Every structure is written in C-alpha cells, then in structure tokens.
Chains A and B, each alone.
Chain A
Amino acid sequence: MHELSIAQSIVEAVEVKATELSATRVKGVRLRIGEASGIVADSLTFCFEMLASSDPVLAGAQLQIEDVPHRARCHRCDQEFAVVNYIAQCPTCQEWSSDIISGTELLVLEMEIET
C-alpha cells in the first residue's frame, strides 16, 4: 500500500540526478530491494510507471529490480543462513541470536540516461 510513496521517492531522487546531469531522457532505473524491506515489487513497478508517465524526462523509463535475499549470520556457530518468514533461527545449531546481514535494502542504484 505504501509503494506509491516509495515510487514517489524514487522519482524525486532520479529527477534530481537527471536535472544535475542535464539528461533529456531517463531510459531505465535500477533498484536493489531486500526481501525484508516490506515492498511488493509488482506494485512498486506499477506505481513508478504511473508517476513516470507524467514526467517528460522519465516517461517510459524501465524499472529494473535486483532482489536481495533475507540472510543472517549465527552468533554461536557463525554459519550464514536464509531467514524464512522473518524467523531467524540458525538451522545448524538452533541458536536464536544472529545478525541480519542482508535483505533490508531499499536502494536506487543507478540510471541509464540520454543527454
């Protein structure tokens, strides 16, 4: 439901950079979105395309989303493991204490432009 606000933030970040570089067109925008960031990629793409279509520089820009899996490292056995449904219990030694090492990312990585 909040994907529209997220899409708005992406459009703003891209617009600032595009203006700075005097881009005439933005062809694509690449994002990195973690599995545990609470974002639905399809919904985000829909919102981004809708917002971009009313901006002459961004119209038609393609959103590319790089997914990052939710992973943690166990405090006891140092094993890295996949966190499933946010439950971060080490599958090797059953320890509950761990550090989240990826999956919460929400980044605009780069864009492809014409000048």
Chain B
Amino acid sequence: MPKVTIAQNILAVNEQVAQEIRQDLTARGIRTLNIMSSPGAGKTALLERTIERLHSQLGIGVIEGDVETSADAERIEAAGAQTVQINTRGACHLEAHMIRAALAEIELAEIKLLVIENIGNLVCPAAWDLGEDLRIVVVSTTEGDDKPAKYPHMFATSQVMIVNKLDLLPYVDYDLQKVRQQALAINQHLRIFELSCRTGEGFAAWCEWLMTTASGL
C-alpha cells in the first residue's frame, strides 16, 4: 500500500486567497482590520462611533459578518460607511473567499480603511486569515474578566485589544488590571485601548492610533 506525501498546510487554500486580498488592498493603499469578539462586546458600536468620527477624513468601507440578518449592516450604513453584509447561515467564522466576493461590491477607490466585522465568537475566527493587516479583539466589562486566559488563541494572534464599556466599570466585578496582565502574558506585543463607545471616554486615543495606522502604508 503506497504512502503518498502531501505536506500541505490544511488552510493553504484560504491562506492563498487571503494573501491575494492583502496584496491587492495594500497596492490600493487600503489598510484592513479584522475585528473579533464574543457576541455583544460592542464591535458594531465601536464601528459606528469610529465611522462618525473618522469617515470624512479616511473613507471607511465595512464588511459585516453575521450568522443571520442585516441589522448590523443597516446600523453601519446609517453611520455613513459603504457596507456589505455577509450572512454565513450558521457558519461560525468568515473565510477569505467570502471577503473576496464581498470586495467586488465595494468602491475601493473611495476608501482608505476596510474594516471586517467578524462573527461574534472568540474561538473559530482566529484560525482564518482574511487578508487583514491587523487583528483587533474586543472585550467588554460586562463579560468575565478571564476572557484572555480562556480564549488564548484569539489574544495570541491579535495585535490590538480593546476593552469596551468602561463606563460600566463601577457596576460590575471586572478586574481591568487582571485582564491587562492576562492578555500581555499571552501576547506581550498586544496594544491595549480602554474605552466606552457609549460615553466616548478613551475614544480619542483609539481614533488617533487608527488615523496613524491607516496613513502608515
């Protein structure tokens, strides 16, 4: 019985598509973010507030991943950005070929920043490269403060962590210092922003960083 060598990365097909997307977007001068979190941490609110502040200066396009509904895409569109909705119909993560298809519906000449809002899930999306330049993981003070330790793969593969709902800190048992320490123990290069999408606290630092990053190509 012959043994045949394959020696292929299991996600080779996805990674090839992701690489093509990255090269294409980089050549057009577009920076791409892949935003991930558990459901309800505030990814869409973060995007709404960010678009309100930066859209006129940057030109922002959004790819909204959701299992069902176009509710989030409607929110983002109302905020003023070009938006494409992907419904995965049950799948727990986005894959690069979905992004490639969605990009055909965006006027790329009009944007400098592309934001992909992934499916609310701290496990599966971490395994799929979507062609992004940076991965951003969002956590919030209404979740447990042990998320980095429980879902280390997500934090290990992200470059930025945002702690949202800072305004609720007085009302919840959330140890911010513990979250910082856990996250940095897993990924010492992680850049951390602490903010509230509701009150705007801490938002200036995030927007300033985003502007610098988006113009840094």
Partner of A87 from B14, B121, B186 at Cβ < 8 Å: B186
A19 CB-CB contact with B under 8 Å = no
Partner of A108 from B10, B123, B126 at Cβ < 8 Å: B10
> Is there contact, CB below 8 Å, between B93 and A112?
no
Q: Tell me which residues across on chain B come within 8 A of A5, comparing CB atoms.
A: 91, 93, 95, 124
Contact with A along B1-31 (1 / 0, CB 8 A): 1111111111111100000000000000000
Contact with A along B108-124 (1 / 0, CB 8 A): 00000000000001011
A38 CB-CB contact with B under 8 Å = yes
Q: How far is the CA of A2 from the CA of B121 in the complex (A)?
A: 11
Q: Tell me which residues across on chain A come within 8 A of B1, comparing CB atoms.
A: 27, 112-114
Partner of B6 from A36, A85, A109 at Cβ < 8 Å: A109
> Is there contact, CB below 8 Å, between A12 and B13?
yes
B207 CB-CB contact with A under 8 Å = no
Determine chain B's interface SS by DSSP, over half rule: mixed
The tally of residues in B whose CB lies under 8 Å from a CB in A reads 32
Q: Tell me which residues across on chain A come within 8 A of B6, comparing CB atoms.
A: 13-14, 17, 108-111
B102 CB-CB contact with A under 8 Å = no
A57 CB-CB contact with B under 8 Å = no
> Is there contact, CB below 8 Å, between A1 and B92?
yes
Q: How far is the CA of A17 from the CA of B8 in the complex (A)?
A: 11
Q: Tell me which residues across on chain A come within 8 A of B14, comparing CB atoms.
A: 9
Q: How far is the CA of A20 from the CA of B153 in the complex (A)?
A: 35
Q: Which of B114-170 contact A (CB under 8 A)?
A: 121, 123-124, 126-128, 149, 152-153, 155-156
> Is there contact, CB below 8 Å, between B92 and A97?
no
B213 CB-CB contact with A under 8 Å = no
> Is there contact, CB below 8 Å, between B10 and A31?
yes
Chain A residues near B (Cβ < 8 Å): 1-2, 5-6, 9-10, 12-14, 17, 21, 27, 31, 36-39, 85-89, 96-97, 106-115
Chain B residues near A (Cβ < 8 Å): 1-14, 91-93, 95, 121, 123-124, 126-128, 149, 152-153, 155-156, 185-186, 188
**Additional pairs, 17, CB under 8 Å, beyond known A39-B127, A110-B5:** A1-B124, A2-B93, A5-B124, A13-B6, A13-B8, A13-B12, A36-B156, A37-B127, A38-B153, A85-B152, A96-B185, A106-B9, A106-B127, A108-B8, A109-B6, A110-B3, A112-B1
